[in-house]
Amino acid sequence: MTDSSHLPDAAGAPALPAPRTTPENHAAPAAFTPELFGPEVMEDPMVLFERLRADPLQGQVARVTVMGLDAWLVLGWVENQAVLSTEYRFSRRLDQWTAWTEGRVPPQLHPLVAPQPMCAMLDGPPRHRLRQAVKDSLEPFEGRGIRRHVIRSAKALINTFCESGSTDLVAQFTRQLPMAVMTQVLGMPEAFGPRLLHAARDMHTGSATAQDSNEYLLDTFRDLIARKRRHPGADFTSWLIQHQAALTSRELEEHLRLVLVASTSTTEDLMADTLELLLTDERFRPSMRGATMTLGEAVQQALWNNPAFTLLIGRVATGDTELGGRHIRAGDLVIPCLAAANRDPAAREDITSSVDGNRSHHAFGQGVHRCPGESMAVTIVTQGIDTLYEEVGGVRLAVDGSELRRTSSILTYGLEGLPVTFNAREPIRVFVPRTAPARPAAAGAQGCPAGAHAGVPTGAPSAAAPSRPRHARDSGRDDLNAG
């Protein structure tokens, strides 16, 4: 098999800006070299990114530190595209980072940097083998396959606050729904959700407990794999175990953790950002109810404005190279900053204007690692919001939009809360299956659980479980922009 990701894609590569007249190098002084775990990021990362971009000694590729270690922060849209879509120049093998090979990376960063046998941290054919297994095992949940889980979980959550007439949608809804759905996708009891949620968030923060959280997730998945080997079901875990790529136990654990961590806080933040737009932006508000196109546009606007991963740690330069006029050395850490790329004035003059169908944002990444959960995430968000608006009427923000606050960590910049009022009503009975039953492959998933705007009738029996996934094709390859 030829893996195209190793070949220079000169034809498809975006043009890079010409080098600066005085090229920067490692010895050149920079006026301001912020620490990504420092106060500026915690306060308002967007302000920091624009300050760096405007700094004549910095620009679209800025020098920063990560826990005291040198790195390049990539702010430009074009430069991010170049980094994300040229695996042969910018590798996901972070164990090639000079600081790692020299043993200088602090333990708090190890969960983000240490080599792991998973697609997200590999290049070339090993990446392809594992990624294909993940994509095949997620496929049955795409579109209608996931909607029934979303509708049920959303209704169950709405029941917990619908009588009060007011709630914080972040705490009670957007922060809960993706985890509730993903535990079902993975074939776990929903009761695992809250602890998993905490561990998955903590793992990202570089906190003193990040490693413990990481271990907790891996232990949980070890147990789950053992259970699914004994009792397979119609779920992602069972299909990943059965996949012809024959993942080892370690690979299985790592990919369950990857999917859970990559899918939950990201989808939560996207749902909250979309709701914020619907509740505060006049362009979306009047026609929101039942207007799928408008909801879809709000999702895209939210993806442009506040991508759930503010930045990615990261890539390592495979050889000496040039990026945005900077001289990058082999072994340097390069950090794509998706939030800054999406706000790059060179790509988007006015960030308040409508994106109007333009989907060229970097929120889901680009290239061979582009998010394989994009359609699932968008379905959870749109179906979750649809269900909310169908179930409770008169949803309004309870505070002025300017009072909404965001919590920033190195990777995320999500809304802290979204207090709303609405028309109170009685809870309804919601049928929530413990786990989807195992089904033979031939049974398929041809039933129609629910359309975009059709709620599952209260007390309805479980809709058809998703069918078994197609298995990996022996000689398949990831399309560069495949989702």
Residues that bind ligand HEM (CB under 6 A): 84, 119-120, 131, 134, 138, 258-259, 262-263, 266-267, 270, 307-309, 312, 363-365, 369, 371-373, 376-377
3-class DSSP assignment, residue 64: strand
Separation of alpha carbons 100 and 238, rounded Å: 35
- Per DSSP, 114 falls in state S
Minimum CB–partner distance for residue 258 and ligand HEM (Å): 5
352: Cβ contacts below 8 Å, ≥ 6 apart: none
Residue 46's Cβ-count burial label (10 Å; 0-12, 13-18, 19+) is: middle
The closest of 345, 314, 303 to 50, measured between CA atoms, is 345
Nearer to ligand HEM, 140 or 325 (CB): 140
Minimum CB–partner distance for residue 374 and ligand HEM (Å): 7
3-class DSSP assignment, residue 35: strand
Instruction: With beta carbons less than 8 A apart as the criterion, state whether 371 and 364 touch.
Output: yes
Nearer to ligand HEM, 175 or 422 (CB): 175
Minimum CB–partner distance for residue 150 and ligand HEM (Å): 11
Minimum CB–partner distance for residue 35 and ligand HEM (Å): 22
Nearer to ligand HEM, 263 or 422 (CB): 263
Nearer to ligand HEM, 181 or 392 (CB): 181
Which amino acid, 9? D
Instruction: With beta carbons less than 8 A apart as the criterion, state whether 438 and 233 touch.
Output: yes
Minimum CB–partner distance for residue 308 and ligand HEM (Å): 4
Nearer to ligand HEM, 84 or 154 (CB): 84
Minimum CB–partner distance for residue 437 and ligand HEM (Å): 21
Nearer to ligand HEM, 167 or 263 (CB): 263
CA 214 to chain centre: 18
Separation of alpha carbons 313 and 92, rounded Å: 9
Give the gyration radius of the chain's Cα atoms. 22
Phi, psi of 295 (to 5 degrees): -65, -45
Q: Which residues pair with 420 in a beta bridge?
A: 167, 397
- Per DSSP, 92 falls in state S
Minimum CB–partner distance for residue 24 and ligand HEM (Å): 25
Nearer to ligand HEM, 311 or 445 (CB): 311
